[in-house]
Every structure is written in C-alpha cells, then in structure tokens.
Structure 1
Amino acid sequence: MQRRRSEELATNDRAYVSGENAMLRFALLLGASVSIAMMPSAMAQEQPFKIGVSNDQSGPYADQGGPGSALAARMAVEDFGGKVLGRTIEVVVADNQNKPDLASQIARRFFEVEGVSAITDGGTSAAGLAAQSMATQLNKTMLNTAGTAPGFSGALCSPSGTQWATSSYALANTVVKDLVREGGKKWFFVTTDSAFGNALEPETVKAIKAAGGTTLGSVKHPINTADFSSFLLQAQGSGADVVALAVGGSDLITAMKQAKEFAIPGRMVALYVSQPEVDSMGADTAQGLHFATPFYWNLNETTRAWSKRFVERHKKMPSMIHANTYVAVTHYLKAVAAVGSDKGADVVAKMKEMPIGDKALIQNASIKDNGRVVMDMYVARAKKPGAATMPGDSFEIVGTVPASEAFEDIALSGCPLIKN
C-alpha cells in the first residue's frame, strides 16, 4: 500500500515537472516569436537614410560632377547634422557612364534594393531624365543638379523632381544679348550630339534671333571626341563673328585647345562651362572666353568659406554642379525633416514652399511649381595670363542677370503640373 502510494506521488511529480518544462518551453518560444516579430521594426529604425549620387565618375564630365558631387552631398549631410528622421544619413555613389539605360537600372537598384530615398546630380540630361522617370514611378525624389535639358521641368516634369541645374534657356540668354549688341551678329555652332547639346543649340538660336543676330550653321560631334579639327575647320570657314560651343566637360577643353591651334577668328563662346574646365584649359587658352554661371566661388563670404572647405578635401575648385548639389541636398533634408517622411511628392511639395535662404551658394533662388529652380545668373569672362591674383582666380564676373529675367516663363514650359 505504502509502495503504491509512493509510486503515485512520483508519477505526479514527473507530470508536474514535465508540465513545468512544457510551460517554460512555451514561454521561451513565445518570447522568441515576439522578438522575431519585432525585428523588422527594429531593423527599419536602424537602417540609414540614404541619398544616392548617380553621375559620370570617370568619363568626360567627371570634373563637372563626378566625385566632387559626392563630396558636396556629404558636406551637406555633415552640415545638416548627419541625421534625419532619427536615422543616420549615408551617401551612396554609382557611375552611370552617361548611359540612360544604366542610369535607369541604377535608379531602380538604389530605390528598390538599397533603400535610397533621393538621387542627386544625375549626370547628362539623358541619364538624369531616365533616373527622374524611375523616381516618379516609385514616388522617390530626384534632385537634378547637372542636366540642363528643358524636359526635367517641361513636358517630362515630375511631382517628385526638381531641376537645380541651370536651364538651356538661361545659359543662352545670359550671354547672347550682350554679345550681339557688341557686334557678334553672325554665329556658328559646334554642338555635342546629345540631349544636352540638342536642347542648348536651339535655345541659343532663338536668343540670337531675338537679339537681332543670325546663325550661319552648325556641326555636331559625338561625346568624348578626341579630334575636333574637322568641326573647327567648318567653323573657321563660316565667316562667323562668334563660334559658340554647345559642348561640355573634357570635350570643351579639347575643343578650346584645338581652336587656339587653328587660330579661329572671331570670339569663342562656351555655352556650358564651369570653374574646373576653365582651370584645366589654362589662361593662354581660356583668356577672353565668355560664359554663363549661377555660381562663383569668390562672390561673397558664404561662397568663399564653402569653396575653401571643398578645395581642402577635393583639391580642385568646385563647379556649379557641385554648388547646386550642396544646396539641393541641404534643402531636401530640411523638407524631409519638416514632412516627417521621404515620400517624394510630399517632400518636393514642401521644398517648393520653403525658402532656400539668402545664405545659399546660389543667389535669390526659389523653386517654381514645375520643379524648376531659378536663381541669379552671372556673365563670366576668363582672365588673361598673369591676371590671376590667387589660385582659382581664373575668371571674373562682368554682368548679372536677375533670376526673374534669366529663366523662361514656367507657363510656357509645357509641364503638365502647371494649370492653365
């Protein structure tokens, strides 16, 4: 009897222990399930807030944008404080090689795989437009700081896109009127056969005709041309007062150096040039060259201080693309913080509402309803050999065109976002 009672107690004890173990295992499994369920939320909070730079990193336009744009974006992030929406900001970079199809692939990978919230620079107009199209589809933000084609803020405008790069219209109108008035009546074009060149030349032709001048013809060349002799000989034989180069990057440098060898008569005008190209040409080649720019490093204390910091890290003077990239990323991050999300259309709407500020690297700037950023434009002239007083002092500002006069009327842009 006693033995049977002991066996019953032992059986009950084992059952109790077994039940206790089962409860413990259940508690552990429940805790693990809760932890697993919470992991995506925790991981999302820990993910960095990413801004992508897509441009030409090593080709003919690398000095205009390239690694310098990545640095400008990082400087903007650092000056903003390094965080937004409670997340550390990271800048990622890709080389689109000026190819629209590759730019589109990069944009999709940035947005869908790497979690990028915005792309800046964009590279050539064709590559930038491809990236903007992808950003529009996925409601991400495009901060175009390089492409000048009218499509960005025209027929292909986007509720999540902004065009910080100066327009073909502004580049043309800033320099044409004065040159025609000074006797440059007859013009001949050497033009890059690309979306950039094919937009810039006709805008300049319109400006020439409006000012009372005429065009004698044009010749087109492919990107990354090593020999401009045949194109320059046609310009030389045209009898033009002005040879206009609708050319950019290393192509512009090559064309200018070879034009000096051919002793092209008349005045040379570069329709798209910035500090790195002028510096690379050297004063012997660049002297007297007229061009338009929205940014000049020696304009005021703000531009001088920022340019000094940029040069210390990049070892080259900043271009207008670099300056625009810094301002665009700064303004974008302020809007993201104000909206509380990275939804492209919402952020860009806030960017249009917010003032860019009078301490920006570009002056009197604002964003119009079609995404076009307008700013004061300057007429620049490259200095003669021996005229520079310090490194980087390669050109001077000889005129200013206010933002209200430099850019086209947005009602004429063809942007579907513009009512009436």
Structure 2
Amino acid sequence: MIAIDLPTPDAEPAQVPVLSRYWSDDEPWLLRNYVRRNGYQGLKAALQMPPDEVIELVKASGLRGRGGAGFPVGTKWSFIPQREDHPKPHYLVVNADESEPGTCKDMPLMLATPHTLVEGVIIAAYAIRARHAFIYVRGEVASVIRRLRAAVDEAYEIGLLGTHIFGSGFDLDVVVHAGAGAYICGEETALLDSLEGRRGQPRLRPPFPASEGLYASPTVVNNVESIASVPSILRNGVDWFRSMGTEKSPGFTLYSLSGHVTRPGQYEAPLGVTLRELLDLAGGIRAGHELKFWTPGGSSTPMFTADHLDVPLDYEGVSAAGSMLGTKAVQLFDETTCVVRAVLRWTEFYKHESCGKCTPCREGTYWLVEILQRIEDGTGTEADIELLAETTGNVVGKSFCALGDGAGSPITSSLEYFRDEYLAHVRDGGCPFDPALSTVFPSGGAV
C-alpha cells in the first residue's frame, strides 16, 4: 500500500467545471492538495478491476479524444493486443505538444493540476497493460515541464509510480520528455519518431501505432485532456459522465477563446454548448465591435461566420455545419480584421512548419503563400484567386499527413464566405483595411 491514506471521496456534482474546478485554489499542483480533492480515487477504483473492464468502462462512457480527431478513447485502447504473453512491451504516449494556433488548454491544465494527468496516465497504462509511459511536452514550455516532473517525482516518492502500485502488483515508470518544438510533432507518428530520437516526420500507415508504434511495439497515443478526463469517469461512473454533453459527444471539455473577445481564456463547458453561450460567459466581442469570423477548432479547421453562433460545438454539430471541432481553439475576429491577411499569416505558419517529406505540402504551401501575398499586396489578379483555389485543391487530400489539409481549410472556407473581400483586394489594388486598426495580425506580426 502507499504511504498516505486517501480520504473518503465526496460526491461530485454532474456539472462543469470538472477539469478546471480547482485551478484557482492555493497550490493545486501539490499532491497533498490533489488528494484532498478526491485525487487518485479513480486509480484506486481502476486497480480493483481487470484491465479489460477498465477499457470497457471508458468505451461505455463515450469519451472521445480531445486532441482534434474525436476518436473514441476506449476503442483506441482496445486496439492494443491484449494477450498477457504478447512478445513486445506495450507503451502509452501522451501527446502534450499542443502546437495548433489558438490552442492553449493542455498547458494550463498541466501547470495547475498535473496530478490529474499523472493519475490518468496510470489508469490508462494499467488498462492497456503498459509498464512504461511517456509524456511528450513541447520543449519551449519549461515551466510546464518542471511542474510535471515535480508531480511525477511526488508520485514516485509515495509509491503511486514504480513497483506494486496500491498493492496491486502493477508496475509503471513515467518519463516526461521535452520535445523538439515542431508543429509536425503533434501528428502522432511524427511524435513517435521524435521520441525515438529521429527527425519528426509522419510515418507511412499501416502499420498503425496500435501494432507497431514506439520502438515498433504496440502503442497508444492520446492527448492530455483525453487522459486527464479518465480519472473522474472512474470515480463517478459512466452515467455521471454521460449526464453532460450530448448523446454522441458526451462529457465536458475545455474551449480556448482568444482574439477579439472581452475576456479571453479557458472556458469549460459540456460538449454541445454554442459560441453564443460561450460569449455570454466571456463578455462578448470587444466593446464597440461585432463578430466577423471565427474558428471552432484552431486555424486548421474551416472558419465560421456570425451566422454560425448557434451551431452546437460538439463533433456532430460542427461537422454538419461544414467544419471540425478540432482542439476547440475558438479564435474570434471582428470587423477590423482583413480576412486575406489573416489567412496569409496562417498559411505562412503552415509553410514554415511543413516537414518537407511530401511534395504537395512542401511545394504547395510555398505557392499558396506566394499567391496570397500578391493578392494582399494588391499586385494580384482575379486569375490569382482562381489559381489560389486550384493550388489549394492540389494540396488538400494529396499530402502525406493532415498538415496539408489543415493548411487548405482557412483558404477554402474564406473563399466560400469572403470571396468579395478577395476581389476587393484585386480591384482596389491593395488591402482595403487599415493595418493599424487590426490588433490580431498587425503588419510585420506573427501568428
């Protein structure tokens, strides 16, 4: 048994916030404070069940991956070969790279309550029969890496990590790895290559990570928020989790609001909330201005307009409206923002972050920037607008990984909703917007 006594858990209400409930408490990152808030009760419950039952419980909860794709977490775990005599070790890898523009939910979670993630890691590793787990964090966020490593050290000191956890006979070692700081390493197979010490580039699939992932062994790769959501499900049960959200997108999640909003920040809400409701919480668009366009899941998701304020922000609702929920990075832009300039900045980012492995993405993003720059500078023609659409079509669906698709999303959606603005750049010989008025992407600024 571990060297501390866990208190009797308090009943938890089926309401948000869950993940961010204690972020404003005094020193919520310390183990003693996490334990006082029902910490590690989910792990205790999991270790009293066979690993396969833990997987089935997470499947029954309907928890979907919070990293962008929305794939069911329990189903992903079940792809791992479950034979006790499997010749290769199993690995759990947590994707904490978080590099999608506008996304800033995982970093504050790890900074404020790192033990939520550590507990989720132990539960997930137990479920998939892994004895080693890795948390891959962006190398730039030194404060988060220090906080995570301190939490892992605390867990080792009292026997929550290491050997014979909770007297169960289950052993687990966790490594917090500082990543290479590249956008492409958010793609799970590129992350695995980087973790193995190679240049981060996407792998050809199949084989998939579930059969040949880290060190050519069965591997599960999950996002931080996905794993951090698991302990509360084990503590409170499937019905508790499904009482929030929608039928096909149950539970709670973190929405990152940034840009021209009165109070930017992280807003935890049940899946299915609308932007109109989130804006009520965030004080609305900045005073004296109105919403022009926004992204539901970061810059790699097709943009929406003010006409989409009441779209349910769950996986089905956003998809039906023509975009993707993605990482739930809601970037908001008012009428002072030039759509062409914003799309140009995003495309410059994707050009810079292309790993160069495939021709459509490597060459395509270069030419997309060139065409957009001509239109923004006022030296483009109406033929350039058609060329922009054609070149985007040669990238989307043709690149080796989803980076090319992400690069094309803001272009195709902006042409759909704001084609007149592109035409105005061409006909007026330049951008009709005063760069001095834009506070999001000023001239010479960066994404």
TM-score, normalized by the shorter chain, greater than 0.5:
no
Specify the TM-score bucket, using the shorter chain as the normaliser: under 0.3
When Rg is computed on C-alpha atoms for both structures, the one with the higher figure is: 1
Q: Give the structure with the higher percent helix.
A: 1
**What TM-score does the superposition give when structure 1 sets the normalisation length?**
0.26
Q: Give the structure with the higher percent strand.
A: 1
